Structure 1
Amino acid sequence: MRTSPVWNPQQYGKYAGERGRPFADLIARIGDLPAPDQVGTRTQATGTDQVATRDEAVVLDLGCGPGNLTVGLLDRWPSATVHGVDSSAEMIAEADKLREDPAVAARLTFEVGDLLDWSAPAESADVIVTNATLQWIPEQLDLLPGFVRALKPGGWLAIQIPGNGDAPSHAILRELAARPPYAEYAADKSLRPDVPGPADYVDALSGLGCSVDAWETTYNHLLPGDNAVLEWVKGTGARPVLQSLPDDLREEFEAEYGARLAEAYPRRDYGTLLPFRRIFAVARKES
């Protein structure tokens, strides 16, 4: 398994409403699930054929984080079982708290797993969702064939990734991390792989026998609080850099980074405006 930052569910949970909006927009584009599996049986006493129907759908959330969005999939598909996977043990520990209700626990499970190593049986899932996760994996397009293979005919793959690598929040982070005295520890931690655009997803997933709907959206989030963009990125993009630094340098870096972010994203009476580009792809596996 790859080395990854120790994620903080509480820090990540700040601005949960804004972080959850792209997930809701992604899920809304998923259509009807595949028809229920039908299993033929033959009654020996009468010699008649009977058909039993299994109507329990299987939904997978790959990169589920603390599970606060995953649990909503139970309402989206009331007859489904939902399984979340994340590489962070801290995130999965937080997600497991959602299973305290026995009725929820019967339908919702979580596991620690790296998507580079994870695999599902062929044609086992009705829906695979991966939200804001593949941005961290340079080889993400190489994972798509395995995801599609795991879908039942007629099943859905839904992907959302941030596409804001050129935003001031990230450009300032890279600039500071490449400067002494931080570069010794953090220069490589600020680098992020290039992410595919909508057309890349259309090309890759169409070649795997899927019909594809891909698009991009820039959200203009209004964030409350002091130096809100710093608080946002401390839970996500800046976390690998901050964790790589010794304690004394981390405090110095955060102060300088925070000051630069406050200039780039000034607080107004109505809040702090954070434009945030995101890329979406929803693919249906042909029957």
Structure 2
Amino acid sequence: MSDWNPALYRRFEDERTRPAVELLARVPLQSPQRVFDLGCGPGNSTELLVQRFPDSQVVGTDNSPAMITSARERLPSLSFELSDIAAWQPDAPADLVYSNAALQWVPDHAQLLPRLVSTLAPGGVLALQMPDNLDEPSHVLMRETAADARFAAAIGDADKLRARVLPVAAYYDLLAPLAEVDVWRTIYQHPMADAAAIVQWVRATGLKPFVDPLSPELQALYLAEYQRRIDAAYPARADGQRLLAFPRLFIVARRRA
């Protein structure tokens, strides 16, 4: 894929940051020394960590140069590192490894999450939140539109563009031998102005792997067809707005001493 677009991502920053706030509220730590924000994006979640733990050493990481640049502009006094979560390893045990809406892009959670727990100091916490929306109309319609003959050759197998997250109970079973685990799933209901607003929301994230391989002409055709389907799938509510259901999965795992 091409690099991420921080400005497009920030158009719905309040809605994207809300689950980050709610995840952080469940972190059972008072004054962690070493805090890492994996997949920090433009620094909106990192800023929350600094506010909650002002005396901690907070480091943000991301694999997007554009996002790292945006985060450094937002929080110039902090350290931000370019790195791949799949291979990330701290140079000393972490007290908090935090990740808001990033690990859904990283494969093989059965190996990844236990490895992240292993990077923690005893009593340290892994806290993460991931979209769990591949069965929502917003994402089903991405794949159905991608199967259109006009786009299929360029996009390829749409089912492989993002791995599915595991069921809630599977994450519990995966981490319970290593940590005290709190896991839950929430469905947010976001009022959106119209179908175009929903398309703009997902274009910054989930839609990106679908449109990136397309030529400008095919991108325009794909987005028009996708928006037509979104308009039908998300009817106007009583106030004229559309209601975007957005399931998210949360995990807070505290490593056993």
TM-score between both structures, scaled by the size of structure 2: 0.94
Q: 1:203 to 1:121 in 2, by over 3 A?
A: farther
Partner of 2:79: 109
1:272 equivalenced with 2:242 (yes/no): yes
Query: Could you list the per-position Cα deviations for residues 115-136 of structure 1 after superposition, in whole angstroms to 9, with x for gaps in the alignment?
Result: 12221135x2111011111111
What are the residue-to-residue correspondences of 1:128-277 with 2, within 5 Å? 128-189=97-158, 191=160, 192-207=162-177, 209-224=178-193, 227-268=196-237, 269-277=239-247
Counterpart residue type for residue 72 of structure 1: L
Give secondary structure in 2 for the equivalent of 1:244: coil
1:93 equivalenced with 2:69 (yes/no): yes
RMSD: 1.6
Size of the aligned set, in residue pairs, is 255
Question: Partners of 1:267 and 1:81 in 2: how far apart?
Answer: 46
Q: Identify which range, 148-157 or 132-141, moves more after superposition.
A: 132-141
Counterpart residue type for residue 129 of structure 2: Q
Query: Could you list the per-position Cα deviations for residues 46-71 of structure 1 after superposition, in whole angstroms to 9, with x for gaps in the alignment?
Result: xxxxxxxxxx7111000111112211
1:118 equivalenced with 2:82 (yes/no): no
Question: Partners of 1:99 and 1:276 in 2: how far apart?
Answer: 29
Bigger Rg over Cα = 1
What are the residue-to-residue correspondences of 1:24-103 with 2, within 5 Å? 24-33=21-30, 57-100=33-76
Question: Partners of 1:8 and 1:128 in 2: how far apart?
Answer: 24
Q: 1:8 to 1:199 in 2, by over 3 A?
A: same
Offset of residue 33 of structure 1: 4.4
Q: 1:70 to 1:225 in 2, by over 3 A?
A: farther
Q: Provide the identity percentage.
A: 41
Offset of residue 186 of structure 1: 0.9
Q: Which has the higher helix share?
A: 2
Counterpart residue type for residue 203 of structure 2: K
Counterpart residue type for residue 23 of structure 1: A
Offset of residue 188 of structure 1: 2.8
Question: Partners of 2:98 and 2:148 in 1: how far apart?
Answer: 38
TM-score between both structures, scaled by the size of structure 1: 0.84
Partner of 1:47: none
Could you tell me which runs of 5 or more consecutive residues in structure 1 were left unpaired when the two chains were aligned: 35-55
Offset of residue 169 of structure 1: 0.8
Counterpart residue type for residue 137 of structure 2: P
Partner of 2:253: 283
